[in-house]
Structures are given as structure tokens and as C-alpha cells.
Amino acid sequence: MRQVNTGKVSLYARHEMLDLVLIDGKAKGIIARNLDTGNVERHGAHAVVLATGGFGKIYYLSTLAMGCNVSAIWRAHKKGAFMANPSWTQIHPTCLPQSGEYQSKLTLMSESLRNDGRIWVPKDKNETRKANDIPEEERDYYLERKYPAFGNLAPRDIASRSAKEQIDEGKGVGELKNAVYLDFSRALKEYGKDVIVERYGNLFLMYKKITDIDAYLEPMKISPAAHFSMGGLWVDYELMTTIPGLFAIGEANFSDHGANRLGANSLLQACVDGYFVLPYTLQNFLADEIKNPKTDINHPEFDKAEEAVKRQMEGFLATKGNKTAEEFHKVLGSELYDKCGLSRSKEGLEKAIENIRELRKEFKENLIVPGNASEVNSELEKAGRVADYMEIAELMCVDALQREESCGAHFRIEYQTEEGEAKRDDANFCYSSAYEWNKNPSTPILNKENLTFETVTPSVRSYK
Amino acid sequence: MKIHLKIWRQKDSQSKGVFKEYILDDVHQEMSFLEMLDTLNIKLVKKGEHPVEFDHDCREGICGQCGVMINGIAHGPLKNTTTCQLHMRSFKDGDTIYVEPFKAAAFPVVRDLKINRSSLDHIITSGGYVSVDTGQAPEANTIPITNEIAEAAFDSAACIGCGACVASCKNSSAALFTGAKITQLELLPQGQKETRKRVVAMVNQMEEEGFGHCTNTEACLR
């Protein structure tokens, strides 16, 4: 905000980027819509930087804010930027479970709770007693049992997958049997309530507000939820995408995390990309560009992009069907969570691709958006975002399907060890997949960026 | 449960607003207040009507977007709870609930319950920061700060800028918002150098935006 005060930065709050404008192959500006007025605006520049975050909200139920979306990077992808590892999504283990169809998000409870909380389910899947009435010997502390060296602090992909296993076996707890217990009774006994209040007081309060349950008296109920997109726009070491002059930083790009982001590393990436890398690499690009005159926003490429954006919005408004964008999003999200979420299979992914194509067809014919494009219209905003979700959803499945191995958060049930752990195939899949848009969402072109390890050798993870 | 809603509908900042009545029959206790509005909106859209526009984003009490007046109280009946963290179990079957936007001269209504809070941004822009470039991370031990001071500064930094203090104040003052940022920076050695300049700049800006002054009745704390 200091830079705003000095006049170096202008803020355009409540604006949404709807397209990227390329002139002679270089990123030269964007088309944006002012969400408070509906006006479509043109912004020209010497370079464009996208810091538009991740798209985990594609699963509908996620830990993300409601407005998180893929539109900025997806529309850049459709203008030529490669999209890398789109199927790699982190599912976070400590979130609040779904309580009903109307639910809009799954609140994240901090990972730190696993320092002192113990995760368990009843051994008997027909268990009906309350948590506190179930004796110690009838509880399965499955993380401590399966991963004695790490116990409740096993990494996110393992903790989430293990929770899903228990829930799928019918041992889930809560009314919908879709959660596992996170129990603080031992820590409370050992350290006293004061210490627990100091460490986690705000989280216990938040839990109480949402669920009306006092977690000092009975265990919390938690479940896995979509959290972070490790994939995103492909960038080079200068954080530039395959479009000259288009940069992507933070969760919007694919770099840093591989298939399994570690806790706190998204903050780290935000700092590294924003403070320490981009301010220097952007200058490398601008050194040759800044002498060029300012981009003319009356250039025919701006006309074309603006027309396309307006045409799309008119299309949404003219459909006049019977299903809201939100309803489409819910169907898409549960399809993806089911078939391209914590575990994936060839059969499931092929089915998902089929279903997504069907859904996209229905979206074209049966969407309802009220009002018009020149007013505040949140339904119109959502329609655009869901349209993009419908397209990248297929690419996520295509990506998960081609990667015939299990790797980090990507778990293909066909590729696992006898003990049910992920089985990587470094001989054939040691690459980042980078997709090129090719006319329509069903015909992407796969490019492979081979990973070369010079100082370390990849090994098999073990938390036993 | 059945809920009677009386919701402020206003097409844009120029139009006059009115309360419109809606009845919802299938409200669950576990729903958040905003999820209750979601179900209303899906019904409205399916009928071809414009949904009730309201601001929201994180839905976990940290983004500061979702504030509305609920039965005349900013964010509704619970203390220290944003609208998104308020659940329908705080209401009874058959209740009538009045829902209005936060009203203040400095918060023009954008549509229905949506307001423009840019005026709060302008206050921060006028001085709510430390005027030194971040640069490389310094060695943490060069500026010792006790845990108590760090915690106190954090308490002030926890203001999410929702504007509820303004909506609750008879003077529409942003003194609590402005004071929170001033206090946070004043408590820390990095912020102390500019305190005088900052206070004058931020309070002047607050006035310029059309917020009133504080008369210490503490309406914002209730």
C-alpha cells in the first residue's frame, strides 16, 4: 500500500481478468471486467504477471475461498501457455467434514493440531457409542499403527489417504460416517488445559463455532479436503511461461512442489517468487522491452479479445436453461473428488472424462444466468469460472490417466506395493507433463520435461 | 426450520432500496448464515430473479468480506463472530431475520448487501506500513521483541477490516480500524520511528473519507 501511496502501483480491486492479449506472440495486456459495474476494460503493458492462486476449488468442497478459480491461468493456457502437472492436487487431512448437501466449503483446521492430537477410528464399523465411551482397546490409532516412526505426523498425502481408507471401509465417524477422530485427551491430561488453550485456543474456538462441539471434552471430527494445486502454468527458472512476457508466480505456476507439497511451502513460494526471484528476472525481460512504446489498447488484438469475452458472456445469458452455475460446479466437483481425487484408476478416469464431456454439453444447453452483463452479477461471474473448470477438469483426468505410476499425491490404485504404498516408476515417468492447448479441451498435446537429478538420487519414501 | 427473511434489495448505489420478504422452509441448524442465503439464491435464480448479492470469500472468518447487519447487529448475535461463522442454530424455527448492508457514508452500497469498503484501503494507503523496503531477511536476533509485545501487536494486527466497527458506530467512525493498525505498528520497534507522522496521516485520511470521529461510547466493542 506504500507503493500505492507513492503512485508506483495502481490497484484495481474487484476486477476479474477474463482474457490475455497477445501482440506478435508476446503478452501485452489483459481484458478485465469491473465486477462492481460490469464494465469490460482493457489494460496494456510491457509484461503481464499472474499471481492468481490455485484452483483446488474445482472440487467444489475445498478449503479454499469461494472466489478462488482457474480462469486467469486457464485463459492464458488457451492463448498458448503450457499447463503443467494439472492433476497433482494436495488433499489436506485436517479439515471439517461435510455435514450436508448445502455445504459450501470445508474449513481447514491447522495442521499443527496433529502435533498433540491423536487420530483414530473405532475398530468395529458398526460402532454406535459416543467417542468417549469407546474403550482404548477398541480404538484403532491407524496412523500410529501403520507408521510408527511418524505416527500422527505422517505427511499429508499419507494421512489423507489413510483416512479415506478407513472411511471407505465403513469405519468413518459422525452422522454421515465421513470423518475420523482427532483426539486431544492424552495431551490435555499430560500438559493441562492451559497449555492446550495457549497452543490451539483459537482453533478450538473456531471448531466450536462451526460444529457446536467442545473439543476439550470430546474428540474433533476431521476429514480430508482439496487444498492446493501443485500443478499450474509451466514456468522456466525466470518464472516466465511459454508465452514471452507472461509470468506466473505462487500457486498459479507449477514449480517448487513436485507432486507433494510440504507444509508451509506455499507461503515460502509466495515469498520466494514475489520477493526474491521475480523482481530480478522480470528486469531481465524488461531490459529489452522497456524501450518499446507503451502498448496501444486500441490494437486490433484487444478488439478481438474483448469481443470474444463479451460474446461468451452473452452466450451464458442467452442459454436460459434451468440449472445454476453453482449446481453444475457441485456435480463436477464430486465427480472429480471421486475419480480424480485421493485415489485414481484407469477405469474411473476414463469414466470421469466421459461424464465431464456430457456435463459440458449440458452446461451449454441448460445453464441459467439471470440479469445482464452490464451490472453487478455474481451468477455471471460464476458461470465463466465454472465453464473454465469444466475444461481443465478433463485435462486433470487426462494427466492422471497418462501417468501410470503412483507419485506423491497422485495415487493410482493399479500401482501400489503389497502394503498399499505408492509405487513410483522413475524409468518411465520421471518428467513433468506440460500440456499445450490444441483447439478444444479434448485434444491437448503432451510435452515432457525430463527431470534430471544431479546431486541427489530419488529414493522410496518410508514412514514405517 | 422455517425462517422469514426481510432482506434489503437495492439495484445500485443510485437506486433506492427496499426490504423484500422471503420465506425458507428447509433451513438446517448446521447451515452457516451464508449457506442459508445460498439456498435462497439458487431458488431465486431458478425463478429467473436476480439473486441477493452479498460479499463473501474465505468463509472462515479471515477475509473480512462478508459483514451484514443481522437484526440490527453487525455480523449478528454472536460476539467476535463474522457472518460466515454464524450458524443457523443461533436462530429458532419461525424467526424473522432482518438483513441489511453495513450502512455508512464511506461505504456506498454496490448492490443489495454488497458495499464498497475502498475507503478502508485508502486509510491504510495513507500510512499503515513501515516505510523501509523489505530487502533480504535480517538476522532475527538483531531486534529482540518479547513474546508479550509480539502477542499484543498480533492482537491488533488481527483486525480483518470488515467494517463492523463502522456499522456499529453512531458516528460511523473508523477509529477502531485505524487505531488497530496504529497500535500494531507502534508496539513494534520497526514501526515506532514513524508513529507521529502515521497517526496524523491516517486520522486525516479517515476524516477525508467521510468517517466520523470517536466519542468513546464503545459501541464498536459490544
Placement of cell 448479492 in the chain: B53
Residues 273-292 of A with CB under 8 A from B: 275
Q: Which three cell numbers stand for residue B184?
A: 500494531
Q: Any idea which residue has 479415506 for its cell?
A: A164
Judge contact between A224 and A109, C-beta under 8 A: no
Cβ pairs bridging A and B (under 8 Å) = 90
DSSP A119-143: EEEESSTT--S-GGGS-GGGEE-HH
* Nearest residue, CB atoms, A368 vs list B45, B78, B124: B45
- CB-based contact A36 B110, cutoff 8 Å: yes
What residue type is A463 in one-letter code? Answer: Y
Whether B59 sits inside 8 A of A2 (CB atoms) is no
Q: From CA B3, how far away is CA B17, in angstroms rounded?
A: 22
> Which residue from A minimizes the CA distance to B116?
A36
**Where does the pLDDT of residue B69 fall: very low under 50, low under 70, confident under 90, or very high at 90 and above?**
very high
Region B157-186: what's the mean pLDDT? 97
Instruction: Taking each helix axis as running N to C, give the angle between helix A300-319 and helix A378-402, from 0 to 180 degrees, rounded to the nearest 10.
Output: 100
- Looking at chain A from residue 190 to 249, which residues have their Cβ under 8 Å from any Cβ of chain B? 206, 209-210, 212
Q: How far apart are the first and last CA of chain A?
A: 48
Nearest to A171 by CA among A208, A134, A215, A203: A134
Q: Tell me whether A175 touches chain B (CB under 8 Å).
A: no
Q: Which helix (H) or strand (E) holds A365?
A: helix A346-366
**All residues at 6 or more sequence positions from B53 whose CB lies less than 8 Å from its CB, including other chains:** A376, A378, B110, B111, B112, B113, B114
Q: Is the pLDDT of residue B134 over 80?
A: no
The upper half-sphere exposure of residue A120, i.e. CA atoms within 13 Å in the direction of its Cβ, equals: 23
For residue B164, with 0-12 CB atoms within 10 Å meaning exposed, 13-18 middle and 19 or more buried, which class applies? buried
Confidence of residue B140 (pLDDT cuts 50, 70, 90): confident
- Looking at residue B130, what is its pLDDT? 94
CB contact under 8 A, B89 and A368: no
CA A286 to chain centroid, in Å, comes to 31
pLDDT at A262: 85
- Residues of chain B contacting residue A99, judged by C-beta atoms under 8 Å apart: 30
Chain A residue with Cα closest to B60? A107
Of B42, B78, B116, the CB nearest to A326: B42
Nearest to B116 among A36, A322, A371 (CB): A36
Alpha carbon B126 to its chain's center? 20
Nearest to B2 by CA among B100, B98, B71, B96: B96
B51 with A378: Cβ contact below 8 A: yes
Say which of B39, B60, B125 has its CB closest to residue A102.
B39
Residue type, A362: E
C-beta of residue A328 within 8 angstroms of C-beta of residue A363: yes
Instruction: Give A-chain residues touching B51 at CB under 8 angstroms.
Output: 370, 378-379
Segments in chain A below pLDDT 70:
none
User: In this complex, do B42 and A327 lie within 8 Å of one another by their Cβ atoms?
Assistant: yes
CB-nearest partner of A107 from B60, B89, B121: B60
Residues of B within 8 A of A67 (CB-CB) are: 57
Asked if B111 lies within 8 A of A376 by C-beta distance, the reply is yes
Distance set, CA A244 to CA A43, A82, A284, B5, B63 (Å): 17, 12, 12, 53, 34
B31, B88 contact by CB (below 8 A): yes
Residue A28: φ, ψ to 5°? -125, 5
Strand ordering across the sheet containing B73-74? B18-24, B3-9, B96-100, B69-70, B73-74
Task: Write down the ipTM of this complex.
Answer: 0.94
B192 min Cα distance to partner chain A (Å) = 16
Residues from B contacting A (CB-CB < 8 Å) are 11-12, 28, 30-32, 34-35, 38-39, 42, 44-46, 48-51, 53, 56-61, 63, 78, 81, 85, 87, 89, 110-111, 114, 116, 118, 121, 124-129, 131, 134
**Mean predicted confidence (pLDDT) in B187-199:** 95
CA distance B141 to chain A (A): 20
Nearest C-alpha in A relative to B117: A13
Backbone φ and ψ of B182, nearest 5°: -60, -45
Select from A1, A102, A375 the Cβ nearest to the Cβ of B35: A102
Alpha helices for chain B (secondary structure H): 33-46, 118-125, 147-157, 164-168, 175-187, 189-192, 195-208
Look at B49 and A370 and tell me if their CB atoms are within 8 Å: yes
Residue B46 vs residues A239, A251, A321, B49: alpha-carbon distances, Å: 44, 35, 9, 7
Q: Which of B26, B30, B113 is the mutation pick for testing A, counting most A CBs within 10 A?
A: B30
Q: Which three cell numbers stand for residue A402?
A: 497418462
Position A37, amino acid: T
The three-point CA angle A312-A58-A99 to 5° equals: 130
In the predicted model, is pLDDT for residue B103 greater than 80? yes
Q: pLDDT value at position A464?
A: 85
Residue B126 to residue A5, Cβ atoms within 8 A: yes
Give, in degrees to the nearest 5, the angle at Cα B86 between B85 and B89: 135
Cβ B12–A2 below 8 Å, yes or no?
A: no
Contact B124 A375 (CB under 8 A): no
Which pLDDT does position B2 carry in this prediction?
98
Q: What does the alpha-carbon distance between residue A349 and residue A201 come to, in Å, rounded to a whole number?
A: 42
Residue B135 has pLDDT above 80, yes or no: no
A327/chain B closest Cα distance in angstroms:
8
